[in-house]
């Protein structure tokens, strides 16, 4: 009887524990479900000038981006009319506390590559909805423009040109929002002279992860100012920015030449970025497929005597005078110091707008053929100057067999033009190269232009860079674990983490980056 009693007791204890666990888990599930089901109602009660949308079409649109590889559906999309709408929404989520699963992502023109502007089950803010206050241009000794964080750079160009002015630094594609590019860096062929776009900002208005609206600059709230610039949206949402301007030309001289030797190509590029009165825009291409090179060459400029070569350098001259084109003798003087193939020299004159917005022409053509909204497995790298030859030999010589599926950009930038107080990570050398593999993948293809092939190629490039210890840093980076992000930031990780704990302690903002996954605490 004693053994029977012990057996019954043991069985009773086991059943009690099982029952308790089932009840406990059921309570958690009920609580979570209750929390989730009540959140939309609480959001709907927010006093907003704009509106929150729960429509399927809006959610589906916010779940996609230019990369066209990741889709995370939000719970709602905010269409704000004012900064206070954004602040109220973030403040509401902040007040829900650590038990809430809600996160918030700012979405500009949707040009992210890896779902960075998405928020699974959260709220996506449509930054282009903010229309007030209007863009304001201030001319004078130190001209600038005040713009909304959701404004497109192409609109800024057209507005500032009315005053004979324009921003100093650009991206190659202008149909991007101010907040989007400033949250990364914003680079183009002008970065060697003026630095990235984040080096040309005087003041910001930011909504932090606690819903506080803060005006910041180098002199005021400087820590937040530099945190947000290149901060990948982790510390606040940029709602307004003051951008430095300079006198703008109406016409520019656009020059293209071909190189057959990579060393000569990079040597000339490095020479040009230190020539104070030479070219103002320097950008290069690497084209490995010779047939593709000649086809692209004829399509764009049709030189009289095209020569087979493997490297293309493009340089655009923009006069600082802003009104007149340089003389033929001045161009020849600059070109005499370069080691390109003489027979490939081509020059043309275009408007400043046509030069800066040149990629949009390609976009229109691709859209007409249904080839714009396809996967874009891009890979952007910062390569130290001392490693660029080694990188080129292996990557362009062995890994990348052809470039018919998209351009490969390459040009040097001067680190002295970058502010090390921002959140951007760059190589530890004074000069480094941007190398951008801008591939487009055909979804139905199993060949070199297929998504899996391009992703495999990107992986091989990254593995080589790590194996060879080149000191490469990804730009527009994408990682799947916090440890990978820790390696990416290196010595800067600790300060990046500290800034997060100050400005977004509940990890509400920019969940799509995957840097600080939000942990839910059950009270």
pLDDT tens across 318-374, in order? 322 223 356 667 778 888 889 988 888 888 889 999 999 999 988 998 888 888 999
List the beta strands (DSSP E) in 221-369: 236-247, 251-259, 281-286, 311-317, 346-351
- Contact (CB, 8 A) for 236 and 509: yes
Give the span between the Cα atoms of 139 and 141, in whole angstroms. 7
Residue 327 is predicted with a pLDDT of 65
Angle at CA of residue 218, ends 237 and 241, nearest 5°: 40
Q: Using H for helix, E for strand and C for coil, what is the string for 312-353?
A: EEEEEECCCCCCCCCCHHHHHHHHCCCCCCHHHCEEEEEEHH
**58 catalytic, yes or no?**
no
The CATH code of domain 251-474 reads 3.40.462.10
Residue 277 is predicted with a pLDDT of 75
Annotated catalytic residue within 283, 376, 453, 478: 283
Q: Model-level pTM?
A: 0.87
In this structure, the chain runs to a length of 523
Mark the ranges of the chain whose per-residue pLDDT is less than 50.
1-9, 12, 15-17, 19-37, 290-324
Give the span between the Cα atoms of 268 and 520, in whole angstroms. 54
Q: Among 249, 266, 209, 231, which residue's Cα sits nearest to residue 89? A: 209
Asked if the domains at 19-248 and 251-474 fall in one CATH topology, the answer is no
Residue 443 is predicted with a pLDDT of 83
Annotated catalytic residue within 79, 92, 111, 194: 111
- Annotated domain spans of the chain: 19-248, 251-474
**92 catalytic, yes or no?**
no
**175 catalytic, yes or no?**
no
Residue 384 is predicted with a pLDDT of 98
Annotated catalytic residue within 172, 212, 394, 429: 172
Residue 456 is predicted with a pLDDT of 96
CA distances (Å), 342 to each of 300, 306, 315, in order? 18, 10, 15
CATH architecture of 19-248: 2-Layer Sandwich (3.30)
């Amino acid at each position: 009887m004693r053994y029977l009693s012990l057996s019954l007791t043991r069985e009773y204890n086991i059943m009690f524990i099982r029952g308790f666990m089932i009840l406990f888990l059921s309570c958690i599930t009920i609580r979570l479900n209750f929390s989730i089901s009540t959140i939309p109602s609480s959001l709907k009660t927010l006093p907003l000038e704009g509106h929150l949308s729960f429509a399927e079409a809006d959610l589906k649109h916010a779940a996609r981006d230019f990369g066209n590889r990741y889709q995370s559906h939000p719970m709602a999309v905010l269409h704000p009319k004012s900064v206070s709408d954004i602040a109220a929404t973030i403040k509401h989520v902040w007040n829900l506390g650590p038990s809430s699963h809600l996160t918030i992502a700012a979405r500009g023109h949707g040009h992210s590559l890896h779902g960075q502007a998405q928020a699974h089950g959260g709220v996506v803010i449509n930054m282009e909805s903010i229309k007030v206050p209007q863009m304001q241009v201030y001319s004078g000794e130190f001209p600038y423009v005040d713009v909304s964080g959701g404004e497109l750079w192409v609109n800024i160009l057209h507005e500032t040109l009315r005053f004979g002015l324009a921003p100093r630094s650009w991206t190659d594609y202008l149909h991007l929002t101010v907040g989007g590019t400033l949250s990364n860096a914003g680079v183009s062929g002008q970065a060697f002279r003026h630095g990235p776009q984040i080096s040309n900002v005087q003041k910001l208005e930011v909504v932090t992860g606690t819903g506080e609206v803060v005006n910041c600059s180098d002199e005021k709230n400087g820590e937040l100012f530099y945190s947000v610039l290149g901060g990948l949206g982790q510390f606040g949402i940029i709602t307004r920015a003051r951008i430095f301007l300079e006198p703008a030309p109406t016409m520019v001289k656009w020059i293209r030449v071909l190189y057959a030797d990579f060393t000569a190509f990079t040597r000339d590029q490095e020479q040009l970025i230190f020539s104070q009165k030479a070219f103002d825009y320097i950008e290069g291409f690497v084209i490995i497929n010779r047939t593709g090179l000649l086809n692209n060459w004829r399509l764009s400029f049709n030189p009289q005597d095209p020569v087979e070569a493997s490297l293309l350098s493009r340089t655009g001259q923009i006069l600082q005078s802003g009104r007149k084109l340089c003389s033929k003798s001045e161009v020849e003087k600059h070109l005499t110091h370069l080691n390109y193939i003489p027979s490939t020299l081509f020059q043309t004159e275009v408007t400043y707008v046509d030069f800066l917005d040149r990629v949009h022409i390609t976009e229109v053509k691709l859209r007409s053929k249904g080839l714009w909204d396809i996967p874009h497995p891009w890979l952007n790298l910062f390569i130290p100057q001392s490693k660029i030859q080694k990188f080129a030999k292996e990557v362009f010589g062995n890994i990348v067999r052809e470039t018919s599926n998209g351009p490969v950009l390459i040009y040097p930038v001067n680190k002295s033009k970058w502010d090390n107080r921002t959140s951007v990570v760059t190589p530890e050398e004074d000069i480094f190269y941007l190398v951008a593999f801008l591939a487009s993948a055909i979804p139905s293809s199993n060949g070199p232009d297929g998504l899996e092939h391009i992703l495999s190629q990107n992986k091989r490039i990254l593995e080589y860079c790590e194996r060879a210890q080149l000191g490469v840093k990804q730009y527009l980076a994408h990682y799947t674990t916090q440890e990978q992000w820790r390696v990416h930031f290196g010595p800067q990780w600790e300060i990046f983490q500290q800034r997060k704990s100050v400005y977004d302690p509940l990890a509400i903002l920019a969940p799509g980056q995957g840097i600080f996954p939000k942990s839910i605490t059950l009270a």
